[in-house]
Structure 1
Amino acid sequence: MNDRLPYIDALKAVGAQLIVLHHLAFYGPMSDWTHRLLPELVEWFSQDARMAVQMFLVVAGFLAARSLAPQGTLQAPSALPLLWQRYARVALPYLASLLVAMVCTEVARFWMTHDSLPDRPDLWQFVTHALLVHTLLDVDSLSAGVWYVAIDFQLYAVLLGLLWLVRRLGPAGPERASGQVRLVVLLVVALSLFHFNRDADWDSWAIYFFGAYGMGVLAWWISDPADAGPGRRLGWLMVGLCLLALALEWRTRIALALLVAVSLVWSRRSGWLHTWPRSAVLAYLSRISYSVFLLNFPVALVVNAWFSRHAPQDPVMQSLGVLLAWLACNLLGAAFHHAVEARLGRLGRLGRRRPAAA
């Protein structure tokens, strides 16, 4: 269960770079100059590249099912320690990145005035971010993209809660319990796709995104080579459900999530989930993707501010600034991964080692 999955590494690596480029195109004054040179490309990154989030949602569900319930039932004896471990692993680097973001914002504020600069934070704003409830309370974000961290934690908690409830209240026997878990997840996916995901007022809540996340969860169970018959039937149910939801209301993001889920099923059943593509570059970019995601906006703000104040105001020079910001996001994200994320992440794994040792 600890071996790397090259295909997922590739999805995470590409997805993280698309999110960085989306933020560079959407925020800051440099992209306005680049738009004069490459209007269609900048517009695509500004509007469409953000759909890479759907890849992350599906992959997150796939990996959560792999970790929590590889056979369809919750393996751990208790759910709360798992939830704490998830919080420690995700939120500790995230909180460190928020401190960096606040410093970077003040540095950028010294050089430029722009509507992409967040307002100065107060204590309540930071506390809500620390508790990962800022999206639920409609508190302004301290950095672009941090809403996803809160949603990811919500989704993990919802899945963990469903697994725990079925084990507590469901039928005896692993096979019957596993079947009921799959049915419950499929029903929650349906609720999301047919109702909640069609109403943007719910986009601060996990249920809005559970359609994509749940497809990833189901994809893990469907792709089990040892479960060919039931897995195939569940797969057709998932695909049919998603196609019906798209016929009711077309959403490109849901179509993309379905394609990613189907590709994960195919990759695992075919065996190349573990073997393709073999790339040290993609594997490394995947490893640092969370840190790059956390730091890209504040780093890009500082580069935008410096170029706004000191560089010539022409499309070529400002476009070079965009490329420099992209490079800086990756280099500083890698440094943050090794210096902060990797070290803080160990705290989230301590709880998993102790019971095994005992």
Structure 2
Amino acid sequence: MRPAPAEAAARQPLIDALKVGAAQLIVLHHLAFYGPMSEHAAVLAPALLAWLGDPARQAVQVFLVVGGALAARGLAPGGRLAAGGPSLPRRLLLRYLRLGWPLAVTLMLALVCAALARRLADLDHVPDAAELGEILVHLLLLQDLLGVEALSAGVWYVAIDVQLYALLLAALGLGAKLDAAWAARAPAAAWRPATAPLLMAAGTLASLLVFNRDSDWDVAAPYFLGAYGLGVLAAWWGPGLRGSWRRQLGLGLLAGGVALALWLDFRSRLALAAAVALLLVLAPVLRLGLDRGRQRAGAGLAECGRLGARLRRWLAAQSGASYALFLVHYPVLMLVGAAFARWVPAQSAGLHALGLLAAWGLSLALAPRFHRQVEQPGLRWIGRHLAATRAA
């Protein structure tokens, strides 16, 4: 069952806002974590840079939850894979190409920027010259599984995203087979729950209670499935929650599992992921309350409505370019950081703070252009090519 249009509309601005905010925090985290500019500027705002250097990285949990919700809504609204469409392996290939094409371009950009940065300064966060095998391993998204040093920050997340998507597809494929077997045996009028959500719930709880508590698993999808699965289940069980006791029961049991996981081993990252998933579930109710408030206020809020529409358009544009920002900011950071290390004295804290702002601003300026001129044209070409191959 597809979410009602009102529910979908209620969720999208929230998802855009979450993606935009999380993307900015990840960029700022990397600016603060990778020196030398942040090290020299720390005397100006030590608490802020310390927070950006460590706790702010938990913003990745927002991407995991939102990514799970978007994947679930796109692949199988209601928890059942829609009939027709590409095969599951083809869907996985499309996901890999969608993420891998812009990643490949930015890896080449990172290699060039790293080479220039090495000529300017000797910095710990600038990778050494890469061999062909290392580049191929990155393009196949196997660098962490094989213990290869990353050529750019954030590549690990792209690999994890593809792995999580593969697990979701596996749950949907197995769920479809089990649903068909159950339908063949059960009476026509019998209640038949979708099996894929139950499989995802089991995997999510296994991650929260076992895999996410063991850092040895942090190079593979099971470690991150807890947050991703919360997003998936929020998308499947959240719509129509007030009218379905079964969905209420499912989310209630899931909430109990989250509480148990936090009681056994409190993790702030898990608490954040659970809060984001809860926000997605409650979004339609919150939106309904806002709509009623605007109706009671009358026409006096017309101007606020226009401002809100402009804000939603801006959020949608920034959200669309969030992956581009995630990719391009590290090459910019390497180059700007090396230039400041070469030509700006270490004691000039103010200038290094300006360098951080410059790297941030350049990344923000480059991301939309990369999205429009590199990412989108490449994806359109891939889509046409795969469609032609399928037709043949």
| TM bin (shorter chain) | over 0.9
- Number of the residue aligned with 1:201: 216
- The Cα of 1:274 is off from its aligned counterpart by 12
The 3-state SS of whatever aligns with 1:135 is coil
- Number of the residue aligned with 1:259: 275
Q: Give the one of 301, 315, 319 matched to 1:282.
A: 315
Letter matched to residue 301 of structure 1: M
- Number of the residue aligned with 1:143: 152
- The Cα of 1:209 is off from its aligned counterpart by 0.1
Q: Any conservation in 1 of the 2:178–2:195 contact (CA below 8 Å)?
A: no
Q: Give the one of 90, 93, 104 matched to 2:113.
A: 104
- Number of the residue aligned with 2:255: 239
Q: Any conservation in 2 of the 1:94–1:294 contact (CA below 8 Å)?
A: yes
The 3-state SS of whatever aligns with 1:37 is coil
Letter matched to residue 23 of structure 1: H
Unaligned runs of 5+ in 2: 292-304
- Number of the residue aligned with 1:301: 334
Q: Any conservation in 2 of the 1:18–1:49 contact (CA below 8 Å)?
A: yes
- Is 1:223 the counterpart of 2:256? The answer is no
- Number of the residue aligned with 1:8: 15
Unaligned runs of 5+ in 1: none
Q: Give the one of 334, 347, 351 matched to 1:317.
A: 351
Cα deviations by residue, 1:40-95 (Å, 9 ceiling, x for unpaired):
00000000111010000000000111011102111254211111111111110111
- The Cα of 1:351 is off from its aligned counterpart by 7.4
The 3-state SS of whatever aligns with 2:79 is coil
Letter matched to residue 167 of structure 1: A
The 3-state SS of whatever aligns with 1:139 is coil
Q: Describe how 1:48-87 pairs up with structure 2 within 5 A.
A: 48-77=55-84, 78-87=87-96
Which whole-Å CA distance do the structure 2 matches of 1:238 and 1:213 have between them?
Answer: 13
Describe the shift of the 1:137–1:336 C-alpha distance in structure 2 as closer, same or farther (beyond 3 A): same
Q: Give the one of 177, 185, 189 matched to 2:200.
A: 185
Q: Which moved more, 1:127-136 or 1:45-54?
A: 127-136
Q: Which moved more, 1:307-316 or 1:151-160?
A: 307-316
Cα deviations by residue, 1:14-52 (Å, 9 ceiling, x for unpaired):
100000000000002000011111110000000011101
Describe the shift of the 1:169–1:348 C-alpha distance in structure 2 as closer, same or farther (beyond 3 A): farther
Cα deviations by residue, 1:113-152 (Å, 9 ceiling, x for unpaired):
0111112111111111111111211111110111000000
Letter matched to residue 322 of structure 1: L
Letter matched to residue 290 of structure 1: Y
- Is 1:94 the counterpart of 2:116? The answer is no
Q: Any conservation in 2 of the 1:71–1:221 contact (CA below 8 Å)?
A: yes
Q: Any conservation in 1 of the 2:227–2:274 contact (CA below 8 Å)?
A: yes
Describe the shift of the 1:207–1:273 C-alpha distance in structure 2 as closer, same or farther (beyond 3 A): farther
Q: Any conservation in 2 of the 1:5–1:274 contact (CA below 8 Å)?
A: no
Decide which structure has the larger Cα Rg and report it.
2
TM-score (norm 2): 0.85
Describe the shift of the 1:113–1:193 C-alpha distance in structure 2 as closer, same or farther (beyond 3 A): same
Q: Any conservation in 1 of the 2:41–2:353 contact (CA below 8 Å)?
A: yes
Which whole-Å CA distance do the structure 1 matches of 2:383 and 2:289 have between them?
Answer: 25
Which whole-Å CA distance do the structure 1 matches of 2:271 and 2:83 have between them?
Answer: 33
Q: Which moved more, 1:85-94 or 1:223-232?
A: 223-232
What value does the CA root-mean-square deviation take over the aligned residues? 2.6
TM-score (norm 1): 0.93
Q: Any conservation in 2 of the 1:267–1:273 contact (CA below 8 Å)?
A: no
Q: Any conservation in 2 of the 1:225–1:269 contact (CA below 8 Å)?
A: no
- Number of the residue aligned with 1:249: 265
Q: Any conservation in 1 of the 2:78–2:237 contact (CA below 8 Å)?
A: no
The 3-state SS of whatever aligns with 2:248 is helix
